[in-house]
Structure 1
Amino acid sequence: MKGILFTGGELTDLVSFARLPSYLQAFLREQNGVVAYFGGLHIRGCVSEPSWHSLAEVWQGENAFWRTYDTVVETDIPFAQDCVGNQFLLRGDAVLFLDTETGELADLEVDFKHFLFGAEKFPLDALGMEPLRAFQQRGGVLQPGQLLSLFPPLCIETAQQKPRVQPQSVAARLAWLADLYRQIKNLPDGQHLQLKPLQE
């Protein structure tokens, strides 16, 4: 992997680690999660701190994805996220993509090994890194523990051509996305909305 900004250090959450499939355990033994591609991919680790890197936090914690998103089940493992907070989940051996704005779930039709291979070969496309690239071209640097906030959200059609892109803490970004999802999940297409960006 290229552009590594952070690695997770020692395995301290052995309860979560024991529940993982053997191939993910093998990866995490090598490096206990990683922020790679200059923030384009964050693979979570089995740690209690920092909380933004903790797999247990988003898998079994108070704000676990299955508690918010109707398409996610408790056994789905949210092992990674992209630069804007969309999630990569393991369901069995399949890697699924969760759009955290809309809650839509897509089967990427790859296993973990081939997901990593695709990210390595085609990071821009495989990881949806266009917002990060635009942010970097304007001199921005994404720090470990940050995601990019896009406002207005990509799922909402607006007169404004391009969303405003700025760094935001992982916790704040995921909370904002979950709140957006709750507000729009039962709305018909074409519904008019007024949204406020989250202030940190």
Structure 2
Amino acid sequence: MKGILYTGGELTDLVSFARLPSYLQAFLREQNGVVAYFGGLHLRGCVSEPSWHALQPAWQGEAAFWRTYEAVLETDVPFAQDCVGNQFLLRGDAVLFLDTETGELADLEVDFKHFLFGIEKFPLDALGMEPLRSFQQRGGALQPGQLLSVYPPVCIASSENKARLKPQPAAERLAWLADFYRQIKDLPSGQRIHLKPSQD
């Protein structure tokens, strides 16, 4: 993997680790999660701290994805996320993609090993890194523990030509996305909505 910004330390959350499939355990023994591609991919680790890197809160904590998103099962393992906070989940051996704005779940039709192969070969496409590339071209850089805030949200057809991109602590970004999803999940496609200006 290229552009590594952070590598997780020692395995300290052995309870979560014990519940993982053997292939993910093998990966985490080698490196206990990583932020790679300059923030384009964050693979979570079995750690207690820092909380933004820990698998357990995303999987079983108060803000776990299955508690918010109707399509996500409690057994789905949210092992990774992209630069804007969309999630990659393991369900059995299948890797699923969760759009955290809309709650839509897509089967990527690869297993964990081939997911990693695909990212190595085509990181820009596989990780949807266009917003990060645009942010970098304007001189921006993501730090470990940050995600990219995109406003207006990607799922909304807007009259604004350029999305506003800014780094945001991962927990804040994910909380915003969960709140946004709750507000739009029952709206029909094509529904007009009015966005209050984001607080800069």
Pair 1:107 & 2:116 matched:
no
User: Which residue is equivalent to 2:55?
Assistant: 55
**Post-superposition shift, 1:167?**
0.4
User: Which residue is equivalent to 2:31?
Assistant: 31
Give the secondary structure class of the aligned counterpart of 1:144.
coil
| 1:93-144, Cα deviation, whole Å (9 max, x unpaired) | 0000000000000000000000000000100000000000000011101000
Write the distance in 1 (CA, Å) between the matches of 2:25 and 2:55.
Answer: 12
Write the distance in 2 (CA, Å) between the matches of 1:189 and 1:102.
Answer: 11
Write the distance in 1 (CA, Å) between the matches of 2:105 and 2:173.
Answer: 19
Could you tell me the TM-score, scaled by structure 2's length?
0.98
Gaps of 5+ in 2: none
Write the distance in 1 (CA, Å) between the matches of 2:199 and 2:10.
Answer: 33
**Post-superposition shift, 1:191?**
1.8
Give the secondary structure class of the aligned counterpart of 1:90.
strand
Write the distance in 2 (CA, Å) between the matches of 1:125 and 1:60.
Answer: 30
Write the distance in 2 (CA, Å) between the matches of 1:199 and 1:9.
Answer: 35
Question: Please, which moves more after superposition, 182-191 or 30-39?
Answer: 182-191
User: Which residue is equivalent to 1:137?
Assistant: 137
| 1:5-28, Cα deviation, whole Å (9 max, x unpaired) | 000100000000000000000000
Write the distance in 1 (CA, Å) between the matches of 2:107 and 2:188.
Answer: 24
Contact 1:38–1:142, Cα closer than 8 Å, also in 2:
yes
**Post-superposition shift, 1:199?**
4.1
Percent identity among equivalent residues?
A: 82
User: Which residue is equivalent to 1:85?
Assistant: 85
TM-aligned CA distance change 1:46 to 1:197, over 3 Å: farther
Give the secondary structure class of the aligned counterpart of 1:141.
coil
Gaps of 5+ in 1: none
User: Which residue is equivalent to 2:19?
Assistant: 19
